[in-house]
A = this chain, B = another copy of it.
Amino acid sequence: MTGQGLGPLTVWAPDGLPEVGGGDDLVALLAEVLGDVRDGDVVVITSKIVSKAEGRVVAARDREQAITDETVRVVATREHPGGVTRIVENRLGLVMAAAGVDASNTPEGTILLLPLDPDATARAVRAGLRDRLGVTVGVLITDTAGRPWRQGVTDLAIGAAGLTVLDDLRGGHDSHGRVLTATLTAVGDEIAAAAELVKGKSAGRPVAVVRGLAHLLTDGDGPGARSLVRLGEQDMFAQGTAEAYARGWKDAASGERP
């Protein structure tokens, strides 16, 4: 149990980060705008600038192939007037429309793939900021996704270092003195959401700092955002309803046992 603070939590999005391009030294650029950062802060980075620094840019005409290449497994598909949207599990274990391949905030005619290994990048940024600024911070890399049953998108943690992303209250007590048995809070995703509120989508501020969560920092790099993925045995929504129904129907028609 790491416990939870009572605030104040402060979140802001520093100004001055230039447009990031392929081959740029992301740590150097971040260090320029993060002069105010202190030990215990969490630096939250929109995945888009990580992708750009990694040169993960593809011609827009190759979009469908790019989605296929990023896909581990198709979860559901939906036809719409412009084509078919594929909701898939991608190689990062994220279930996202179009595998997370993105066409906003990229140069005309291009699309952007998700970073190669956002947990590794988070670790590198954490080490780099310690070297350059002498601070020990948590680092989160975030992306935006839709959710079943809810309107609108929210930001999620897709890379993390030096930070607890699942806060385990098991072993703590509730206000009536009973042991809390099964509350794991996805604080990584909650921090991503809090940061999105100040970064926004159109404001050109892809980095935020969250101060007040030092109790969630880990001594080492910690488990990474990959630990927020829940697929396989525990996944009750491994396939869309229409797809699962069709599979059951087909299996029955061909004499398979359920």
Contacts and interface: CB of A to CB of B under 8 A. Distances in A.
Q: Looking at chain A, what size class is its interface with the partner chain?
A: 35 or more
Interface of A: 3-13, 15, 19, 76, 78, 87, 89, 94-95, 104-108, 144, 147-156, 166-167, 169, 172-176, 178, 180, 183-187, 189-191, 193-194, 196-205, 208, 212-213, 227-231, 235-253, 258
Contacts of A172: 201-202
User: Which residue among A7, A95, A252 has the maximum number of chain B CB atoms within 10 Å of its CB?
Assistant: A7
Contact of A202 (B180, B189, B236): B180
A126 to B, nearest CB: 20
B244 A245 contact: yes
Contacts of A246: 248, 258
Contacts of A78: 236
Contacts of A194: 9, 11, 190, 193-194, 197
A132 to B, nearest CB: 23
Given A197-B194, A237-B240, A248-B245, A176 B106 contact: yes
